[in-house]
């Protein structure tokens, strides 16, 4: 397993029962459609950004070919300003028509609520690094102001990187360096616009409930393909013009960055979608291609994200300010209420690898190809690896009947804004992991602050889990040695909105990660709902295997422990539970038949699983 990159698991669950401890106000009018508001914010924001980018790119290109003076400031050029103004008016008009109520005017009494639009808890424009967008948000007109400011800043930043350091002595000469300048500038800005379009369409598909993934990867299955094609076109165009006689970047005959003119350092930003930092020296043409690719990824991620604040907290990587508290806790916790989500009865067969054997009903959704054609049904209550397309490992059923609590932090009609809750304890709370960290794959707990404390193993210094999402789940591997016990934990504070008018059934996205214990046994059985066979499920449980058992223990002190042990020829064994505070002895279990040789498979929770995987619900 390559632990240097996150693997993606898609958790398909949610038919749930919502029980709110509050009085619900009047529902929205029948003519109101929150989906239209949210789609308008996303699409118009992206369109505006692409329009402004196009205007700036054409102006900069005119300087490169010599039809405008090299000293021209394109941000104040009359034609650019006029095109930007028309685009801004269009965005304002479209948002007002969707979100401004019956009079189609933002700032009047009949505006749609900020909660229904998805901006209910965003008091100030989140902005964009390198920009100055921080206006207060009180109505849909303020949202439009924020989106235009962020879009304009993104357009200016991408054009400034792509054109801003060119050697003006080459402008209008028709030289090889001048031809390279034109190709580099246009190809780079075009890639940014193409990628933004793909990301926005991916988020729009999620708004339409065609998928429930992060965008662009795994997204809707189309965005990554479009982006790959755009990236190939960008690189081909730049390297044909700038790569020397062989038309390939990276050869000894490339034009140099000093001949063409390019920034010596790439932008000091990190793209949210792949967590890749752009910062670094740009020494040659290959470095320039890498830099513009990374910068375009970052900017398109941020513009795409601010348009879908209805369900996606704005990435901290994008904002120059302390991120707004999208899901604030109530001023007096408990006075508004909580929602208890309980997982419904799932399928008994999640399907095999690549769905060569399909899942059995009930279903929670479907897996589509890039053309929207159904490939397979997704079983309700199933954990799928690889976005459901893993060929070696099929889906795995999660236990039925476990519960999760979220706090109600605001309400408008039947639409509730929800945030993290303490629940009844670690078994059903929804607070994110950390801040404490421990090294994974350690036989004893070891606190850490960075991977350096864990032998420099990438991503080995992991956040400690505070809240768990269901009991341990056995995951049989393609070969017995790769079978694992997976314990899902909440990665980030839960944040979102729930509409109780949906006949008591609702879904909520939860970022989770899996704490994985390698057991090496393919004959795993699904954990039971009832922990002791008598009462209802209360958290905890065990992954039961022929060879090993991983059991988490939730004692009255609130500390979580896990026991993993192998069967032994010895009649009794010294057994220990581990937690963040070291060894906690527990009574040994009764002897078991001498079936297998002894194996040391003790691990700890939350400090030392064999590895971590990102999951999502």
The predicted structure's pLDDT at residue 581: 27
Model confidence band, residue 387 (pLDDT cutoffs 50, 70, 90): low
> Does residue 364 register a pLDDT over 80?
no
Please give the structure tokens belonging to residue 257: 């960055």
Evaluate the CA torsion angle 84, 120, 17, 430 in order and state its sign: positive
The predicted structure's pLDDT at residue 513: 79
Where is mean pLDDT largest: 7-11, 44-48, 243-247, 307-311? Answer: 44-48
Q: What is the mean pLDDT of residues 390-402?
A: 72
Of 238-247, 278-287, 579-588, the poorest mean pLDDT is in 579-588
Which residues, at least 6 apart from 180, have a Cβ–Cβ distance to it below 8 Å?
238, 241, 242, 255, 260
| 496 sits in which H/E element | strand 496-499
CA 585/CA 575 separation, integer angstroms: 7
Model confidence band, residue 532 (pLDDT cutoffs 50, 70, 90): very low
More confident of the two residues 474 and 537: 474
> Does residue 506 register a pLDDT over 60?
no
Residue-range domain boundaries for the chain = 8-22+336-616, 34-306
Q: How far is CA 454 from the centre of its chain?
A: 26
CA 268/CA 94 separation, integer angstroms: 34
Model confidence band, residue 9 (pLDDT cutoffs 50, 70, 90): very low
More confident of the two residues 390 and 360: 360
CA 441/CA 452 separation, integer angstroms: 14
At 92 the three-state DSSP class reads helix
Q: What is the DSSP letter of 66?
A: T
The predicted structure's pLDDT at residue 392: 65
Q: What is the mean pLDDT of residues 581-598?
A: 29
Q: CA nearest 382: which of 466, 475, 465, 311?
A: 475
Model confidence band, residue 550 (pLDDT cutoffs 50, 70, 90): very low
The predicted structure's pLDDT at residue 120: 72
- Enumerate the β-bridge partners of residue 561: 553
pTM score, whole prediction? 0.56
More confident of the two residues 521 and 579: 521
Please check whether residue 204 is in contact with residue 260, taking contact to mean a CB–CB distance below 8 angstroms: no
Q: To which residue do tokens 């190709």 refer? A: 183
Where is mean pLDDT largest: 1-5, 259-263, 325-329? Answer: 259-263
Percent of the chain with pLDDT over 70: 70
More confident of the two residues 426 and 445: 426
Give the pLDDT confidence of 339-356 residue by residue, as tens digits: 888 777 788 888 887 788
Percent of the chain with pLDDT over 90: 34
At 56 the three-state DSSP class reads helix
Q: What is the DSSP letter of 277?
A: E
Give the pLDDT confidence of 49-80 residue by residue, as tens digits: 999 999 999 999 999 999 999 999 999 999 99
Treating both helix axes as pointing N-terminal to C-terminal, what angle do 78-99 and 34-65 enclose, rounded to 10 degrees? 170
Bridging pattern class, strands 611-616 and 511-518: antiparallel
Q: What is the mean pLDDT of residues 480-503?
A: 74
> Does residue 368 register a pLDDT over 50?
yes
């Amino acid at each position: 397993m390559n632990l240097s990159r996150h693997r993606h698991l898609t958790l398909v669950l949610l038919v749930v029962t919502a029980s709110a401890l509050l009085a619900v106000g009047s529902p929205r009018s029948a003519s109101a459609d929150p989906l239209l508001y949210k789609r308008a914010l996303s699409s118009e924001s992206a369109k505006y950004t692409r329009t402004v980018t196009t205007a700036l790119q054409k102006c900069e290109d005119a300087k490169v070919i010599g039809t405008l003076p090299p000293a021209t400031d394109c941000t104040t050029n009359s034609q650019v300003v006029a095109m930007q103004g028309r685009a801004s008016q269009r965005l304002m008009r479209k948002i007002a028509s969707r979100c401004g109520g019956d009079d189609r005017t933002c700032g009047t009494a009949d505006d749609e609520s900020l909660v229904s639009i998805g901006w209910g808890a965003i008091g100030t424009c989140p902005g964009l690094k390198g920009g100055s967008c921080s206006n207060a948000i009180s109505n849909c007109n303020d949202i439009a102001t924020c989106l235009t400011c962020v879009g304009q800043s993104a357009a200016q930043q991408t054009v400034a990187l792509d054109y801003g350091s060119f050697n003006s002595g080459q402008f209008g000469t028709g030289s090889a360096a001048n031809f390279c300048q034109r190709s580099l500038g246009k190809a780079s800005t075009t890639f940014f616009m193409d990628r933004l379009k793909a990301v926005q369409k991916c988020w729009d598909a999620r708004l339409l409930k065609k998928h429930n993934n992060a965008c662009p990867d795994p997204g809707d299955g189309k965005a990554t393909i479009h982006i790959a094609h755009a990236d190939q076109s960008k690189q081909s165009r730049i390297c044909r013009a700038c790569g020397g006689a062989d038309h390939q970047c990276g050869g000894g005959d490339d034009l140099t960055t000093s001949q063409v003119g390019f920034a010596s350092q790439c932008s000091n930003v990190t793209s949210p979608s792949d967590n890749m930092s752009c910062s670094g020296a740009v020494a040659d043409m290959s470095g320039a291609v890498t830099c513009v690719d990374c910068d375009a990824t970052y900017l398109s991620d941020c513009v795409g994200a601010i348009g879908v604040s209805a369900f996606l907290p704005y990435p901290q990587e994008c904002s120059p300010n302390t991120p707004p508290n999208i899901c604030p806790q109530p001023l007096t916790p408990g006075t508004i209420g909580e929602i208890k989500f309980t997982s419904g009865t799932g399928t008994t067969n999640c399907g095999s690898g690549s769905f060569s054997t399909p899942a059995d009903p009930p279903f929670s959704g479907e897996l589509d190809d890039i053309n929207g054609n159904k490939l397979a049904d997704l079983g309700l209550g199933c954990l799928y690896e690889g976005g459901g397309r893993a060929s070696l490992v099929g889906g795995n059923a999660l236990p039925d009947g476990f519960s999760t609590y979220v706090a109600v932090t605001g309400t408008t009609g039947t639409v509730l804004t929800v945030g993290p809750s303490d629940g009844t304890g670690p078994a059903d709370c929804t607070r994110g992991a950390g801040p404490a960290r421990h090294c994974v794959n350690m036989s004893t707990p070891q606190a850490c602050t960075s991977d350096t404390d864990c032998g420099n193993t990438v991503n080995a210094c992991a956040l400690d889990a505070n809240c768990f999402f269901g009991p341990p789940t056995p995951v049989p591997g393609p070969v017995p040695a790769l079978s694992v016990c997976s314990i899902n934990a909440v990665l980030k504070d839960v944040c979102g909105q729930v509409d109780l008018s949906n006949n008591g059934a609702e879904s909520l996205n939860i970022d989770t990660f899996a704490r994985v214990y390698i057991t090496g046994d393919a004959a795993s059985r699904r954990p039971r709902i009832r922990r002791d066979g008598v009462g209802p499920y209360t958290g905890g449980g065990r992954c039961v295997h022929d060879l090993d058992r991983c059991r988490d223990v939730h004692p009255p002190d609130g500390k979580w422990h896990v026991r993993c042990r192998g069967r032994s020829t010895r009649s009794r064994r010294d057994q220990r539970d581990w937690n963040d505070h070291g060894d906690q002895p527990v009574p040994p279990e009764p002897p078991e038949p001498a079936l297998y040789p002894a194996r040391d498979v003790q691990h700890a929770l939350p400090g030392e699983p064999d590895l971590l995987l990102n999951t999502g619900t």
